[in-house]
Structure 1
Amino acid sequence: MFINFAFKLTIASLFLISLTVISFAQSTQKEVITKIIKSANDYNSKLAVEKLYLQTDKDNYIAGDTIWFKSYLFDAVTLTGAEKSGLMYVEITNDSNRLIQRSMIPVYQGLTFGSIAINPEEMPQGSYTLTAYTSWMLNFGDDAVFRKQIYVSDVTQDDWLIDYTSRLTKISNQNNVSMGLRIRQYDLMPVGLRQIQLKVSDDRRTILTDKMDTSVEGLLKTEFNLPEKTNTKTLSISLQDQRKGFGNRKLILPLYLNRAENTDLQFLPEGGSFIASLPNKVAFKALTEDGLGVDVSGKIYDSAKKEVASFSSTHQGMGSFELIPGATENYTAQLNFPDGSFKTYPLPLASTSGITISVNNDAKRDSIQIVLHASPDVLAAGKPLYLMAQSRGMVCYGASFLFRNQSVTILVSKKTFPTGLVRFSVLSPDQKSVNERVVYIDHQDQLRIELAAEKLRHEQRDSITLNVKVTDKYGSPVQGSFSLAVTDDGQVKTDSIKANNLISQILLNADLKGHIENPGYYSAAITDSKKWQDLDLLLLTQGWIGYRWTELSTAKTMKFPAESGFEIRGKYTNLFNKPVVNAKITLLGNRPAVLADTTTNAQGIFVFTGLVPADSASYFIEGLNQKGKKGTGGIEIQELIPPVFQNNQRMLLPWYVNTDTTGLLFIRQRQELKATMEKLTGKNMLREVKITGKKVVKNSKNLNGAGGADITVDEEALQKAKKTSLEDLLTKNIPGFGLRFKRGSYFYGINSSPIHIIMDGMETERFKPESESLKDYHQTMLRSIDAEDIKGIEVMKTGKNQLRYISEFLPPMTEEPFNHIFIEITTRGGHGPFFKKPVGIALVRPLPMIQIRSFYAPKYPVKSKADMTDIRSTVFWAPHVVTNEAGTAKITFFAGDNPGSYSLIMEGTDMTGNMGVQRRKITIEKQQLSAF
């Protein structure tokens, strides 16, 4: 309704502007603009773009914890519940972008909630990325999916504390890194006179491996040269204790270099055009090597080395300056660094033809001022131009204008647009985009959420009742769906500046490119003039997308279909790969048990719907011919294969690195709480001793016999891996496995040792085409085979297990034969690298479906004594708080045993376009128990 109302305002505004700036037929231009608006909105309506946000109970977890989440899936235009998708996928990847787990969950009217258990074996201490998306969202690229970085820690009193510094200098034209580390125990005593294996690596190779002894003070110093083309964004340090019995103590931390001379300085003219002899506003953004903003200052010089402007960043490396460039002039920016050095950067070359746009979005004014300047040729042409504005993907403003002199000023009422980003575009007479500028509109119409505690003070184990009241900007009650997280500040750090939230994600972040530092900083920016200016700089530097108006008449091909729910879809073909029509397809499933049948259509397609798979579910599908007999064709299951998302997340520093006094006190308090609870409950008093036999792979062709391997991945583990590729399986289960570089070429290896893949007793390398490199051959094989194709993996890497493989598969005079590692793969078909797909049948193992679980919150009787056995870090999680017609709801939970303060974060929506976020704290005091 708002869009339709805005469109009426648009037509009125268009008429008034036309009267003042054009002298040709108003009706003709009105028809052109109406046609542009209709084409754009019809096109965008068919796209049905979705926006997604997940609220989690916290950002930092401990090993064995649970991630609780609620998701809000919106139609991007109306911000109502998305209707196109009824299935959502959730992934967790580690800091190397390796997939840890992937699951799915149904979505109803845009809402769903669930939980993900953190398995310490799969998710050891480190940083991870939580990614959520629908199939339909994949059509719009990486930036369309939702991402959130989380950290998993596992604090024990055996942990080390690491302080390190690094410096990079040029020595003999090589990048030399000098690094100093101090290693201390948890009690701050130095880890002295200890042999440490130190490794430095990026995502492609190991750069340094050295065994060193710490000094009495726990100090280590080293230097090494950094090879060319090193990926400095993924550099990491590995420290492993070499003392006997402590070989498992291994710490990995990111290595940040951030060389000043490698500062990335980008210049972005307002509107995308840098036009000679016209006033231009030029925004800039400076980034360190790890992708974060860095404050800079410098000067602009022309080709005669004359200073023409100066610049200085005002927020996270962003700023702007004014410049009227010359027609044939080359401009250079010079950054001066603290050590006296400097670096120069070229500015874009100014064009002699075009239009500049200058937008003033004053927070205190009710309209947006747009000033346009034209080059002489544009002015002389005398042709009509168009100013269009989109909000939430729909065009809700349009105007035509002429340049009667060099500039035109247009005022656009902010009431034309809803709260959120507005994208202004200047179109040429043939409707090609000339300029683009994004601004933010804030009508301060977000939902008002009140969280009022019934009591003024609370003690340990007290019952806490919160009265929730939600209203709109006019004070009217609002019905809606909300989620509430309550966390213990003594165990969970919350930061409103760094944290993303529902409003900032949906109205801001989802429509911008690249990483946004500290998105919470921009919340309620309209109430702070400094933040409002900083928000405008963010839009100047990250808001440009190059919208292509000329493509509105071309239907966009969608690779990924919308999914209304879980289904099994496939195609049944005969021996000549032709579709089998009207064939009967039967399905037999377990967990839960199900028997169903259907028939193929004219294209041989069949679909089974209404299935609700549990974890580890599998479905056996068989195709029959038109006579009802077992078919001889093939069944191809159509499954969603998502792209590998780019890893744009910055590797987080672990808690134990460069920890200050405040951080150390925080960690110690959490550890003391844990120790007290374990002492009182008797948990973890003794180490569990596990006695396990050797794993055996059935039907293996292992030359050493059953169990004759150093590493074994058996069928049980592979069943859990489902569709995981063989490459990912090896990466996950074999330490050191990956792509390596040596002597000018890449190869797959374990650490620095090359591998040989033996499949069902057959050496696969003998089938390699001569024209193909071994690396490419292995890569194709490893990525085309998944866990469902194989029954077991065995690795032979020590002498006793290598010996028979060396004699069987290596030439007699092979150099360093024991440096070769053998991997025996046992396939289900048993045909080696030649896979024979079964005829007329298929086995489907879908992704696990996230099951709805209730958050456990204990209930205590009156005067229950706090004994420190209840130290929940997430005190309470309520994913489905629904307000009634009066806009109210009541929530009750019990405090834990740790006194201090709790952070309460509530987010939600009325699912009709309005959202709200509220944060507050409550204090938990120590119990004042009566002596009687």
Structure 2
Amino acid sequence: MVHSQESIDSLVNHIESSFSSHPSESIYFQTSKDIYETGEDLWFKAYQLDAQTFGLSDKSKTLYLQMINPKDSVVWQEKYPVENGIVSGHIYIDEKLPEGDYFLEGYTKHSFYKNDTIGITPTRKIRIVKNIARSEVMENPKDTIFRFETFPEGGNLVSGLSSKLAFKATDGKGNPVSVEGTIYEDDKFLCGIKSVHDGMGTVSFTPLANKKYKIELKNGKSYPLPGIHSQGMVLNLRKQDKEHLDFVLSQTKGLPHRQIYLLGQMRGMICCMAKGILKDSLKISIPLENFPYQGIAEFTLFDSSMQPVAERLVYVHPQKKLYITAEPEKTSFTIREKASIKIKTTDEKGNPVRANLGISVYDRAYNNPADPVNILTYCYLSSQIRGRICNPTYYFDEKNSDRKEALDLLLLTQGWRRYVWNAVEPDCQGQPFLTDEINGMQTLKSKKKDKQNEGAEQLIQVFGAEGNSQFIWTDSTGRFMVDPDKMKALQGGYVYLKPMLSKEFKPALELVDYFPLIDSIKKNRPQYYPMEELSHYKKEQILDLPVISSDSTILLNEVTITAKGHKPFRDKMMGRLDSLAKVDLNKAWVCECQPVYLNDYYPGYTHHPNGKYDKVKKLPVEGKGYRIIKYSPMMVVEDIQEIVYSGPLYSDEELLKMNNLWRTKGYYGKREFYQPDEVDIQLSTPDARNTLLWTPSVITDEKGEAKVYFYCSDINTGFIGVVEGVDGSGLLGNAKCEFRVIRK
């Protein structure tokens, strides 16, 4: 028994060390809607959750966010501060982006590890269109590839032992295919099979090692069954209710009695360990009170030498969640009317719960049925298993009476889990490599050594995009850090750094950019994302949309609404650098010829192509109009333009070098979601808002209640309200509501 206990302890230690090398945080993205038009702002809330409990985690302080286009290229990347496990931010959807499905991907210090090639990158799909009224529903392309897989319960078929065999049929893109067929034993009919949910089903029978088995499907394809072991053990889940799981363990007759162990764990937490003496069969009842949370429980059967011989995934406690109700004050409102939604949060027993919620109300035209994802489906399913999941919301919709059986089928057809039971070392030697801070090093490139400055702490000035500044010190080796608190104070885009040493020492800064490192690691990871229910966009949407004119403007009461223009972002610090550059250097000059030409301003444009000019070169005047001229190599005039002089044209890199500055990405700037107040809503200006409300942080009170208010716009159509959130200690929940906006 002492040896046995040592083996158990060794196994427990192995599991703990294995999971210490896995990311300890998970991220879920909630967005203000599913579909966006180019030129809009995408508002998001990121929940940073403990990977085991799903309680809010504050271990990481910085979110690295990328938006990936359909060709797997990055079109947006910024950093955002994490506060108490929550990130609230926005992304600008550039007007030049082509239509398609894009992905938000998030990385933090404790959710994305180096060398971890099996982890799942936190991802949220969004659709981008040019014009919502012209977007089309695309039919899923036909796929001629057919795949059929079988999965014995526990892992193996054993001769003479009753076994359950699960199966799954898909096409080449992972879409489910309904199947029907027959199992033959030595070419004799044994039993029929038929899928019951999304191409999945099960059949029970007793295989024999001296027989040959195959499955023939009605589509004419034939498949041999997995190899049948002549002897061994089988793990079978016989019964499941709210209180217990009943397992039956069986082994081949004639084998000696042996001690076995059944280990139950959830997301790396060991929840129970049962042991017993297996003769021919053994029933083990597991109390579900050992599992504190909702989710996938993993049961592994070990023999007396602590070798894994069978495994079973079981979904437990579907009732343990955050129950959210969202009730609009009325089922319909008039345009510009003040509206409200009452929200209540409770646990499974009906007790009020204080919760942190994100709430969005938007035109239902921007709802994407081809993206069946919410906080429950992502955290409890998509982030936990590697197989592709078709329509994960089905398993959480209480209207589906067979959802529990369907969910068990989904878990039966996952195969063995990712964990490799190796007592020597964990399967994944992951380690954090991202940092919450800005890190760098200052070096002195001057050949002249200065004993006073060599090996001493040096001062560096740090600017924000708004021009505000702070000071930091290097250590004796030149290393320095801008911590998250300073980054928040400087929030607004880039952070600029200026060594305070004299230029004669030629100080240079080396800054670490983690985004390229993220990209290199991400290439080795497979992508997992839930699949749509049936189709995605083609066919015209039949929606009661506002009238859209041919030039894409929205027509309301014969008043044309045009979109607001967006200017390219250029922060104030670069403006300051421009002004410095105008003072320090100015290559452009004006000749005394008639007419007057501006020289050496635009590349290739000059009045004196041979470079000789003996007269006085005058400086151009800011805001004054000049001609510029371009010659061909044969001295033929190619182009003449009229321009207004606005200072020297330098790249950002040139300006930084001229002023002995370095820059790196800091926290992206904050913006507030616009909501009209009582005065705004009375204005005659047409109101074409399709998102009426985006409130990323609503906290329910001690009664579990909250109420949100907003004004309807001039769009008269159906609207959807989406509420998602957490209680902070492991309960997750979501709710939807609908109402209409009508004209009087």
Q: Same fold (TM over 0.5)?
A: yes
- The yes-or-no answer on 1:332 pairing with 2:214 is yes
Q: Which residue of 1 aligns with 2:487?
A: 611
Which of residues 280, 287, 290 in structure 2 aligns to 1:416?
Answer: 290
Q: Is the 8 A contact 1:424 1:438 kept in 2?
A: yes
Letter in structure 1 aligned against 2:343: V
- In 1, Cα distance between the equivalents of 2:259 and 2:721? 55
Measure how far apart 1:105 and its partner are: 0.9
Which of residues 561, 569, 574 in structure 1 aligns to 2:433?
Answer: 561
Closer, same or farther in 2 for the Cα pair 1:458/1:657, shift >3 Å?
Answer: closer
Which of residues 837, 846, 851 in structure 1 aligns to 2:669?
Answer: 851
- The yes-or-no answer on 1:431 pairing with 2:306 is yes
Which of residues 235, 240, 259 in structure 2 aligns to 1:357?
Answer: 235
Q: Which has the higher contact order (CA 8 A, sep 6+)?
A: 2
Measure how far apart 1:284 and its partner are: 1.8
- In 1, Cα distance between the equivalents of 2:374 and 2:318? 18
Closer, same or farther in 2 for the Cα pair 1:349/1:802, shift >3 Å?
Answer: farther
Closer, same or farther in 2 for the Cα pair 1:368/1:346, shift >3 Å?
Answer: same
Cα deviations across residues 590-613 of structure 1 (Å, max 9, x unaligned)? 4245353433467x7543323345
Cα deviations across residues 485-515 of structure 1 (Å, max 9, x unaligned)? 11122x22354x9521112222222111133
Q: Which residue of 1 aligns with 2:594?
A: none
Q: Which residue of 2 aligns with 1:659?
A: 539
Q: Which residue of 2 aligns with 1:240?
A: none
Letter in structure 2 aligned against 1:567: I
Which of residues 580, 594, 602 in structure 1 aligns to 2:469?
Answer: 594
Q: Which residue of 2 aligns with 1:76?
A: 51
Letter in structure 2 aligned against 1:462: E
Closer, same or farther in 2 for the Cα pair 1:296/1:484, shift >3 Å?
Answer: same
Q: Which residue of 2 aligns with 1:532?
A: 404
- The yes-or-no answer on 1:373 pairing with 2:245 is no
- In 2, Cα distance between the equivalents of 1:315 and 1:473? 28
Closer, same or farther in 2 for the Cα pair 1:652/1:573, shift >3 Å?
Answer: farther
Q: Which runs of 5+ in 1 are unaligned?
A: 1-24, 163-252, 689-697, 700-704, 710-799, 804-825, 830-837, 928-932
Measure how far apart 1:155 and its partner are: 2.9
SS in 1 for 2:27: strand
- The yes-or-no answer on 1:683 pairing with 2:658 is no
Q: Which residue of 2 aligns with 1:258?
A: 143
SS in 1 for 2:694: strand
- In 2, Cα distance between the equivalents of 1:148 and 1:606? 35
Q: Which residue of 2 aligns with 1:548?
A: 420
- In 2, Cα distance between the equivalents of 1:843 and 1:376? 78
Q: Which residue of 1 aligns with 2:173?
A: 290
Q: Is the 8 A contact 1:155 1:671 kept in 2?
A: no
Letter in structure 2 aligned against 1:334: E
1:336-347 equivalences under 5 Å are 336-337=218-219, 342-347=220-225
Which deviates more from structure 2 when the two are superposed, residues 100-109 or residues 607-616?
607-616
Number of residue pairs matched by the alignment: 649
- In 2, Cα distance between the equivalents of 1:265 and 1:671? 50
Q: Is the 8 A contact 1:436 1:546 kept in 2?
A: no
Measure how far apart 1:680 and its partner are: 0.9
Closer, same or farther in 2 for the Cα pair 1:895/1:345, shift >3 Å?
Answer: same
Q: Is the 8 A contact 1:433 1:547 kept in 2?
A: no
Closer, same or farther in 2 for the Cα pair 1:90/1:423, shift >3 Å?
Answer: same
Q: Which residue of 2 aligns with 1:472?
A: 347
SS in 1 for 2:112: helix
Letter in structure 2 aligned against 1:519: P
Closer, same or farther in 2 for the Cα pair 1:353/1:156, shift >3 Å?
Answer: closer
Q: Which residue of 2 aligns with 1:132?
A: 106
- In 1, Cα distance between the equivalents of 2:77 and 2:728? 28
Q: Which residue of 2 aligns with 1:883?
A: 700
Letter in structure 1 aligned against 2:249: L
Closer, same or farther in 2 for the Cα pair 1:96/1:366, shift >3 Å?
Answer: same
Q: Is the 8 A contact 1:623 1:630 kept in 2?
A: no
SS in 2 for 1:918: strand
Which deviates more from structure 2 when the two are superposed, residues 367-376 or residues 670-679?
670-679
Closer, same or farther in 2 for the Cα pair 1:531/1:111, shift >3 Å?
Answer: same
Measure how far apart 1:546 and its partner are: 4.1
Cα deviations across residues 824-866 of structure 1 (Å, max 9, x unaligned)? xx9989xxxxxxxx9xx99754346333322112235699599
Q: Is the 8 A contact 2:390 2:531 kept in 1?
A: no
Q: Is the 8 A contact 1:387 1:398 kept in 2?
A: yes
Which of residues 54, 59, 82 in structure 1 aligns to 2:29?
Answer: 54
Structure richer in helix, relative to its length: 1
Q: Is the 8 A contact 1:297 1:312 kept in 2?
A: yes
Closer, same or farther in 2 for the Cα pair 1:878/1:332, shift >3 Å?
Answer: same
Measure how far apart 1:877 and its partner are: 0.9
Measure how far apart 1:523 and its partner are: 0.9
SS in 2 for 1:85: coil
- In 2, Cα distance between the equivalents of 1:142 and 1:49? 14
1:824-843 equivalences under 5 Å are none
Q: Which residue of 1 aligns with 2:121?
A: 145
Letter in structure 2 aligned against 1:356: V
Which of residues 696, 718, 732 in structure 2 aligns to 1:915?
Answer: 732
Q: Which residue of 2 aligns with 1:926?
A: 743
Letter in structure 2 aligned against 1:300: I
Q: Is the 8 A contact 2:23 2:112 kept in 1?
A: no
Letter in structure 2 aligned against 1:540: L
Letter in structure 1 aligned against 2:109: S
Letter in structure 2 aligned against 1:107: V
What is the aligned-residue RMSD (CA, Å)?
4.3
Closer, same or farther in 2 for the Cα pair 1:149/1:312, shift >3 Å?
Answer: same
Letter in structure 1 aligned against 2:437: F
Q: Which runs of 5+ in 2 are unaligned?
A: 447-452, 568-585, 588-600, 606-630, 635-650
Which of residues 879, 900, 904 in structure 1 aligns to 2:721?
Answer: 904
Q: Is the 8 A contact 1:461 1:860 kept in 2?
A: no
1:633-644 equivalences under 5 Å are 635=510, 637=512, 639-640=514-515, 641-642=517-518, 643-644=521-522
Q: Is the 8 A contact 1:584 1:623 kept in 2?
A: no
Q: Which residue of 2 aligns with 1:96?
A: 71
Cα deviations across residues 267-296 of structure 1 (Å, max 9, x unaligned)? 222122232332222222222122212212
Q: Is the 8 A contact 2:327 2:737 kept in 1?
A: no
Measure how far apart 1:670 and its partner are: 6.3
Closer, same or farther in 2 for the Cα pair 1:924/1:311, shift >3 Å?
Answer: same
- In 2, Cα distance between the equivalents of 1:652 and 1:517? 6
